[in-house]
């Protein structure tokens, strides 16, 4: 997508999330993060953020710094609801702080220096299963929805501490378990609710904000 198309897409995604009933009575403010602040962050950490993520960061500031949302998605062969904690940084420092938490894990697991340099933490998969990250070593333009090895959103099981055996690649970088093909798919499924009509057709249940809340009681 072109930059203007990305901006419209992200803004509509946030509005669609609210239209679908999430965060009733709360306001979505405009983001105060600037392109200059992102450039400083990229230079500091020696990374290049994906264009769509940059657009998300500079669009809206959602009600909390991290939000818990649910959607009907495909996950490991299952089709159903899955909760997600998604980070909505107010400043680039918020992202740096999440990266520091990954460094603490590196120290605990005695992993090699720099093994996290390809990872940008953006939340928690399953809203408690473990860190959800963008893997910068997997360009989104190369993503193949049918090939999980190309997926750019990955997660790390917080109950697994053999990260050197489970996740450390021959390139010296950590590569987590496949979560979603891309950030765009995350926004399509969690913000736009793209799969909800299909779920209703197949299961005879209409996913609504109230229905998602009820899944927490199961």
Residue 153 has pLDDT above 90, yes or no: yes
In a domain, 29, yes or no: no
In a domain, 143, yes or no: yes
- pLDDT for res 102: 83
- pLDDT for res 113: 82
In a domain, 38, yes or no: no
Q: Got the DSSP string for 60-108?
A: EE-SSSEEEEEEEEEETTEEEEEEEEEE--SSHHHHHHHHHHHHHHHHH
In a domain, 111, yes or no: yes
Residue 163 has pLDDT above 70, yes or no: yes
Share of the chain above pLDDT 70, in %: 99
Average pLDDT on 42-52 reads 96
As to burial, measured by CB atoms within 10 angstroms (0-12 exposed, 13-18 middle, 19+ buried), residue 174 is buried
In a domain, 74, yes or no: yes
Average pLDDT on 175-198 reads 97
In a domain, 18, yes or no: no
Domain count, the chain: 1
- Whole-model pTM: value is 0.94
Instruction: Provide the angle, in degrees to the nearest 10, between the axes of the packed helices 35-45 and 92-109.
Output: 20
Cα 212 to Cα 19, 66, 72, 141, 187, distances in angstroms: 15, 18, 9, 32, 17
Which residue, 183, 179, 199, is CA-closest to 71? 199
Residue identified by tokens 């909390």 is 64
**pLDDT: which is higher, 27 or 175:** 175
d(CA 152, CA 134): 6
In a domain, 8, yes or no: no
Whole domain around residue 90: which residue ranges?
66-215
- pLDDT for res 132: 98
- pLDDT for res 99: 92
Residue 160 has pLDDT above 80, yes or no: no
């Amino acid at each position: 997508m072109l930059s203007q198309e990305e901006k419209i897409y992200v803004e509509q995604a946030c509005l669609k999330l609210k239209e679908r009933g999430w965060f009733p009575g709360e306001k979505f403010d405009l983001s105060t993060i600037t392109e200059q602040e992102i450039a400083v962050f990229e230079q500091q950490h020696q990374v290049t953020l994906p264009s769509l993520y940059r657009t998300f960061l500079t669009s809206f500031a959602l009600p909390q710094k991290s939000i818990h949302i649910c959607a009907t998605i495909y996950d490991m062969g299952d089709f159903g609801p899955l909760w997600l904690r998604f980070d909505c940084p107010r400043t680039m420092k918020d992202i740096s702080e999440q990266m520091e938490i990954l460094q603490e894990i590196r120290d605990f697991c005695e992993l090699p220096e720099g093994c996290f340099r390809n990872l940008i933490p953006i939340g928690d998969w399953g809203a408690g299963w473990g860190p959800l990250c963008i893997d910068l070593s997997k360009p989104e333009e190369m993503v193949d929805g049918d090939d999980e090895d190309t997926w750019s959103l990955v997660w790390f099981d917080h109950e697994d501490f053999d990260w050197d055996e489970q996740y450390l690649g021959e390139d010296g970088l950590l590569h987590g378990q496949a979560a979603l093909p891309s950030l765009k798919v995350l926004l399509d499924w969690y913000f736009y609710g793209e799969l909800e009509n299909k779920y209703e057709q197949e299961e005879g249940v209409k996913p609504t904000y109230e229905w998602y809340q009820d899944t927490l009681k199961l």
